[in-house]
Chain A
Amino acid sequence: MIEIDSIAKTYDGIKAVDGVSMTVETGTITVIVGTSGSGKTTLLRMINRLEEPTSGEVRINGASTLSVKPHILRRRIGYAIQGHGLFPHYTVARNIGAVPELLNWSHDKIRARVDELLELFSMEPAQFRDRYPAELSGGQQQRVGVARALASRPDLLLMDEPFGALDPIIRTRAQEDLRRIQQRLGSTIMLVTHDMEEAIRLGDRIAVMDGGKLVQHGTPAEIISRPATDFVANMVGDVERPLRLLSLIPLSEVVEDGDAPGDALSPEASLRDALSACLWTGRTAVPIVQGGTHLGRVTLGAIRARAEAHE
């Protein structure tokens, strides 16, 4: 559990972060979202003391981050940044093994961990271990960057706009990958982004920052349905609001018996996917199939009803 206790950062009289307090539960993804200058990156960087707080404290599992030297602290916190920052003169294996090397892990242990992570990120170890970053595609580089951040099994993973440099198609893949890996590893992740869609897609909790202050901290559904301020509402966007809400709800929640024509969707797909399919193919319902078994159908009417209810 990460406790952020009235943390503040002032530069030359300007409050970049103004008394932010929140709690991050272990094993969750918290997305900090805001426009540029909102203090979101500064907040993130105060957790691993790349910026020192002017006042306030951060506690990880009860221990204050001020109680150890910064570089020791950072070896227990994963850090992935936009532009990945891979060492161009290290192979992929040596890049991923960088923090374990700092922690004096044995050679074999490091090698095993590197292979494990490469497999997890769907990169064949034999093929990728000895490549250099310059020989990788953008998406592969980003994955290695995240793998590097996870190598030492840190308590916490901090990510600063990690998908910003990727093109949209790969970005979606990467976001799904992150979700999948987080569920696999049970990692606690704090991620900074300016993209509300990304926040809603990834976050178990979303923290909205504006002008250095924490404006709202809640589940995606809360942020969408009950924005605390106009600013939050604007970030969600009037037009996008219902669609964003629908994207949070899996089809399994509104499936009913019956059949429908056309291509089927999986029950894990969202109501938004079903809405999109109906609109595009001119249907009023879509069939739901899982692993070959026909589960039922979802109708436009059900979707509309759910959206109206916006809870």
Chain B
Amino acid sequence: MKAGTIVSAPGLLFGAFGLAALLTPFMTLAANRIVAGDGIMAWNLAEPSAVLPGLAAVLLGLALGLPADLTKVRLAGSVLGLAGLLWLAVQGAPALLDGAGEYARVSPATGFWFLLVILMLLMADALAAMSPGPLMRGAVLAAVLGVLAVILWSGALSDLSVLKEYASRRDAFGRELLRHLGLAFGSVAAAAVIGFPLGVLCHRRARLGGAILPVLSFLQTIPSLAMFGLMIPILGWVGNTVPGAQAIGIAGIGFAPAYLALVLYSLLPVVGNTGAGLAAAPPAALEAARGMGMTPGQRLLRVELPLGLPIILTGLRIVLVQNIGLAVIAGLIGGGGFGTFVFQGLNQTATDLILLGALPTVALALASAIVMDILVDLTRRIPKVSP
């Protein structure tokens, strides 16, 4: 009997890596927030009676990830394993901090992070095997985010260093969250407003496309730090010379240059994918549309756009995920957003302040990617048929 048919190959892989991860330090205890800490193994986190349930849950969860045919069991295993991780973290943090000093800090270490990734991959693998439709996937995402929100809200993990960083700058976090959303989503919106019509034009007139696309490609190649840096004198000049510009916030530093740089980086994918989407319509259908008396506008709205929408939305997806990450650099020029915490943390050598900026960025990017993929799927108008 072949192993592949009884035991799921990924499950086996996850199980093996998961076991290996357990043998690396699970959490670190540091004397204060700016120095490296000592690694603590999972079984040393707290009293055995407190640690055992969590360890058992993790191991059992990994084991349940093995059967090839039982996808629901694998899914349950991943949930169990994640619960075990949570348990260990919730038990371990306060136990380690007990008697460790006034400034001591506890953070998850490689063992925790590896196991988190492995168990999430196990969950994703099990879910994928169930072939969920787009709406189902949306529901799953909402459920996962909901659980995360409940865990954070309840304060169960509040002893972790990264959440202590959050606790002492709650207002700032809220401000920078809004700033980051504004930078990322706002720049994508602007790129869509500029890029869609530009993409349609470039598609219609090949010569225009031939002139514009190389320029946009060139913009993509400018390193981000250089681009953000370039914006400072340019927008500074605009802010100083154009009357009223400064009043609406155009200045060399801050939100405006970061925003403009992000918009410029977004144009090529949007324009390119718009053109590709429009080109996806079958030529015979376009000829028929023209011959039956549709105006160019009607052709665009009724035939080219609906057929090209998945490709066009994919362009937006690319840009959104790109900009969520890129917006971190705005922290270097006072643009706000999660980058503020990343660079402050770098400067203070406080790793968990860096994480306070980095983790939400990653989570936001992942969630956005999943949501955009769902949207792309929903706009596929042509049903997939077997011949």
Contact = CB atoms under 8 A, between A and B. Distances in A.
Chains A, B in direct contact (C-beta < 8 Å): yes
Interface of A: 48, 50, 71-77, 79, 81, 83-89, 98-99, 102, 132, 134-135, 145, 148-149, 158
B284 interface: yes
Contacts of A88: 282, 285, 307, 381-382
B293 interface: yes
Interface in B272-306: 282, 284-295, 298, 302-303, 306
B306 A89 contact: yes
B55 to A, nearest CB: 53
A79 B292 contact: yes
Interface residues of B, number: 22
A102 B302 CA distance: 11
Given A71-B293, A99-B293, A102-B294, A85 B288 contact: yes
Name the residue among B285, B290, B292, B381 with the largest chain A CB count within 10 angstroms.
B292
Contacts of A134: 382-383, 385
B288 A84 contact: yes
Given A75-B293, A79-B288, A149-B292, 4 more contacts: A73-B293, A74-B290, A85-B289, A132-B383
Contacts of B303: 87
24 contacts: A71-B293, A72-B293, A74-B292, A75-B292, A75-B293, A76-B293, A77-B293, A81-B284, A81-B287, A84-B288, A85-B287, A85-B288, A85-B289, A86-B285, A87-B285, A87-B289, A89-B307, A98-B292, A99-B293, A102-B294, A134-B385, A135-B385, A148-B288, A158-B291
Contact of A132 (B286, B287, B292, B385): B385
Contacts of A86: 285, 288
A74 B293 contact: yes
Contacts of A73: 293
Interface of B: 282, 284-295, 298, 302-303, 306-307, 381-383, 385
Contacts of B383: 132, 134-135
Determine chain A's interface SS by DSSP, over half rule. mixed
A102 B291 contact: no
Nearest to A48: B291
Given A50-B290, A50-B291, A74-B292, A84 B284 contact: yes
A98 B303 CA distance: 11
A166 to B, nearest CB: 15
B307 A102 contact: no
A132 B282 contact: no
A140 to B, nearest CB: 13
Nearest to B387: A134
A98 B381 CA distance: 17
B302 to A, nearest CB: 8
Contacts of A149: 292
User: Which 10 residue pairs across A and B have the least CB separation, nearest first?
Assistant: A85-B288, A79-B291, A75-B293, A74-B293, A89-B381, A85-B284, A83-B284, A71-B293, A134-B385, A88-B382
A99 B385 contact: no
B288 A102 contact: no
Contacts of A135: 383, 385
Nearest to A91: B383
A74 B385 contact: no
A71 B307 contact: no
A98 to B, nearest CB: 6
B291 A81 contact: yes
Contacts of A50: 290-291
B100 to A, nearest CB: 63
Name the residue among A75, A87, A102, A158 with the largest chain B CB count within 10 angstroms.
A87
Contacts of A87: 285, 288-289, 302-303
Contacts of B288: 79, 81, 84-87, 145, 148
Contacts of A102: 292-294, 298
Contacts of B306: 89
A86 B307 CA distance: 12
A71 B286 CA distance: 14
Contact of B295 (A71, A76, A77, A99): A71
A242 B303 CA distance: 48
Nearest to A102: B293
Contacts of B290: 50, 74
A125 to B, nearest CB: 20
A135 B382 CA distance: 11
A231 B381 CA distance: 49
A83 B298 CA distance: 22
Contacts of A72: 293
Contacts of B291: 48, 50, 74, 79, 81, 158
Nearest to B296: A71
Contacts of A76: 293
Contacts of B307: 88-89
Contacts of A145: 288
A215 B286 CA distance: 33
Contacts of A98: 292
Name the residue among A72, A77, A86, A89 with the largest chain B CB count within 10 angstroms.
A89
Contacts of A85: 282, 284-289
A134 B302 CA distance: 18
A7 B291 CA distance: 19
